[in-house]
Each structure stands twice: as C-alpha cells, then as structure tokens.
Structure 1
Amino acid sequence: MLTDGTFCAYPNTPDHVRLLQDQEANRKAILDGLEWLKACADRDKDATIVIYYSGHGTYDLSSNAYYLL
C-alpha cells in the first residue's frame, strides 16, 4: 500500500522502501534496517520515516520485557 501510487507517493525502490517478512525479518536484518533509516534521516532532515510492525508478542512479567514475534 505504501508503494501504490493511488494511495501515496513512495517509490517502490530499495532507496525508499524496505520490506522484511517471514524469515527475512531476523534480528540482524531489523537492526540493519534501523541503521539504514537513521542514515536516510541524517541525509535528509525533511525525510518522512514510517515503521510498520505486524506480528505477535507478549509481555513477560518476570523480566519486565516484551517478546515480539
């Protein structure tokens, strides 16, 4: 939807949109993606950054931490 021109104006290129799904959405890829976003924002102070997460998770009361899948 973010790359559909009828809804918004984000080009569907690796320079503008990164999609991680299924096995690609591992810890390293997520951290690399966040570093990429930071670099994009550092280059363009007017940049719009959107992070969309869809998944499952729970809050662990014993460790006071979230566990996301």
Structure 2
Amino acid sequence: MRRGFTLVGLKRVLGFWEVTLAGVGVILGAGIYALIGAAAGEAGNLVWLSMVLAAVVACLTGLSYAELSSMLPRAGA
C-alpha cells in the first residue's frame, strides 16, 4: 500500500538569464584559453580591453539567442 508519497521533480525551464549567461560562458570559456597568447602578442598591455570588447559582443549574441528562444517557446531554448 502506498501512502504519503509524492513525486517531486525539477522544473524543465530555462529563462532569459540562464540562456544568456550560458551562451556567454561557452563563448568566453573557450576563447580565453585558446587565444590569450595571440591576443597578448597583438594587444600588449591592453589585452584586457580586447577581452572586455569580446565579452560585450558575446553578451549581445547571447541576448539575441535569448530573445529568439522567448519568441519560439514551444521549440525550446
């Protein structure tokens, strides 16, 4: 006899910030390790500025994907 059991699970939802930050993390996560030497050779002491500019572009890309996923909620994020 079953009594007192309830099924509890996680909600399968990705929101705006989750999708945006996941995209930025994937883009910047690979580039910072693969290209830091080449970027430092070209930019010198201003390599941090190139990384900030890359982060801005990555954020804009992530926001575009987040907006697309909110426009098509049935297709998934």
Q: TM-score range by the shorter chain?
A: 0.3 to 0.5
Q: TM-score, normalised by structure 1?
A: 0.32
Larger-Rg structure: 2
Kindly indicate which of the two structures has a greater share of residues assigned to helix.
2
Kindly indicate which of the two structures has a greater share of residues assigned to strand.
1
> Higher relative contact order at CA 8 Å, sep ≥6: structure 1 or structure 2?
2
Q: TM-score, normalised by structure 2?
A: 0.29
